[in-house]
Amino acid sequence: MNHGEFDYIIIGAGSAGCLLANRLTQNPNTTVLLLEAGAKDDYIWIHIPVGYLYCIDNPRTDWQFKTEPIPGLNQRALLYPRGKGLGGCSSINGMIYMRGQAPDYDRWAEITNEPDWNWSASLKRYKQFENYYGGNNEWHSNQGEWQVSQQRLKWDILERFKSAAIEFGIPEVSDFNQGNNYGVGYFDVNQKDGWRLNTSKAFLKTAAKRPNLTMITGAYVDSLDIDPQTKQCKGVNFIGGGHQHYASTKQEVLLSAGTIGSVQILERSGVGQGPLLQELGIPVIQNLPGVGENLQDHLQLRMIYKVNGIETLNTKVKTMFGKGLIALEYLLKRTGPMSMAPSQLGLFTTSSTAHATPNLQYHVQPLSLERFGEDLHSFNAFTASVCNLRPTSRGSVHIENRDVMAKPKINPNYLSSKEDQQVAVESIHLTRKIVAQSALHPYSPQEVKPGASLIKDDELVQAAGNIGTTIFHPVGTCKMGAQNDAMSVLDPNLCVKGVRGLRVVDSSAMPNITSGNTAAPTMMMAQRVAELLM
């Protein structure tokens, strides 16, 4: 079925795609087709903040990817959640609003030879889409659609951890988003009145009312239609309802399928590593060896401490009465544990004096469990999850065949570098020092994971491999770069090198991962492309 011709075709209604659809349709003379493989975001657990527990590894809301066995994680394979449906990852993520650090963006500008990626220019773009609870100031704006709110709960155990961090010498901060996020405080979250805000509600709700936006869900993109002679991207082939469909573009295709999905679509379309594509029987249209390489992610080490004499969520949900009180509080006030982001208290610091700005981020939680999707522990405990913000390990993602429904081969390659192993060891030592402060003494914290008996560096590297897991921030597989960078896939304006009329606009375009959660930076990148096109 031919769906006609559009000025722009956006593939993927996630963090980038929804913002692009909103911005481009502001011009009534511009026609836009938005294709999304998943369903509408009418599943109740998307919108209740604690519902991420029911959305991750749920085929309705998650692609349910899994990594290959990872040597650095002692051959463990991990679930690798990626959002599926309107809102994409913003429908299942931790709702944390985090820009990262100013040097992240200045480094992008240096890598790409494009000053417009620097911190000053990026900050202006953040203000274009942000609606900050504190109003307009030097760092924030309240004029945009993306609501940034304070959290609606506090826990005594988190206050105690915060006090321990301050006692250790880490200052308290109220805003992590001013260019240097050093300090300890509560994360700002993307919620509105106690409900999750995803990019579908923030950006698509308005755009969907415009006659120049056509939106199709359940649309699995098979390949891009790229002329092998002219290298012009002319349209998109996709599958929906068991039938083949096609749509053409007058201007551009904007690929916003994410760090995993964009690679799959490019490779199925003949854009990628020539030898790999030939091996799979795919005609090579543009040989770009960087497609699928440069995979980066924040590996979190989930350190768990058992405590006594202070309440955590573990025991609060142990009885039906406790669960009932939690549900009633949310029903009446939109507060309490059901309004919780997965992590409430944040901390940014350095693992050693070798780092000029924070290279560690803590997500501290008043709960503990073996892994997401399983029940909480029966004893009171908190989790101090610490991640290396600037890993040097690099992985890859590639398709294994041309089947549009086939899972890709994901190799994150965590802890493969000596530098990352060293930071992991330093992270564990640092966490122990914070927990040893007098603020936590009354609650007799006992290290459950990785275990206080592990002290030597080689033991701690092994332990990091046992407790390390993704914090869901994969980026970099279609990185932007300068023209002379043979491994860059995109130019500084996110155009695919050697292919006309095609851009990749999502987290895969990041050359280096940002020093914090990656949802907001992905939207900022989409904002820049929207401004270029408008």
Active site residues: 473
User: Please, how many CA atoms are within 13 Å of residue 177, restricted to the half-sphere of its CB?
Assistant: 26
Strand, coil or helix: what is 329?
helix
102 φ/ψ sector (left φ>0, alpha ψ -120 to 50, else beta): alpha
* DSSP for residue 118: S
CB atoms within 10 A of CB 242: 5
511 φ/ψ sector (left φ>0, alpha ψ -120 to 50, else beta): alpha
Q: Give the position of tokens 């990749």.
A: 504
DSSP annotation string for 396-455: EEE-SSS-TTSPPEEE--TT-SHHHHHHHHHHHHHHHHHHTSGGGGGG--EEEETTTT--
Strand, coil or helix: what is 107?
helix
CB atoms within 10 A of CB 2: 9
CA pair distance 110, 225, nearest whole angstrom: 33
Closest by CA to 213, choosing from 14, 500, 1, 20, is 20
Instruction: Find all residues with CB under 8 Å of 506, minimum gap 6, and list them.
Output: 12, 14, 15, 16, 17, 255, 256, 257, 258, 259, 262, 522, 525, 526
Instruction: Find all residues with CB under 8 Å of 494, minimum gap 6, and list them.
Output: 480, 503, 504, 505, 509, 525, 529
Burial (0-12, 13-18, 19+ Cβ within 10 Å), 395: buried
- Are 461 and 427 in contact by the 8 Å Cβ rule? The answer is no
CA pair distance 439, 160, nearest whole angstrom: 6
Closest by CA to 343, choosing from 283, 397, 384, is 384
Closest by CA to 66, choosing from 58, 77, 74, is 77
Amino acid at site 178: Q
Bond before 521 cis per omega within 30 degrees? no
CA pair distance 357, 102, nearest whole angstrom: 10
Q: Tell me, rounded to whole angstroms, the distance of Cα 363 from its chain centroid.
A: 14
- Are 361 and 345 in contact by the 8 Å Cβ rule? The answer is no
CA pair distance 3, 214, nearest whole angstrom: 10
- Are 531 and 117 in contact by the 8 Å Cβ rule? The answer is no
Q: Give the position of tokens 């981020």.
A: 361
Instruction: Find all residues with CB under 8 Å of 15, minimum gap 6, and list them.
Output: 87, 88, 89, 90, 199, 506, 507, 519, 522, 523, 526
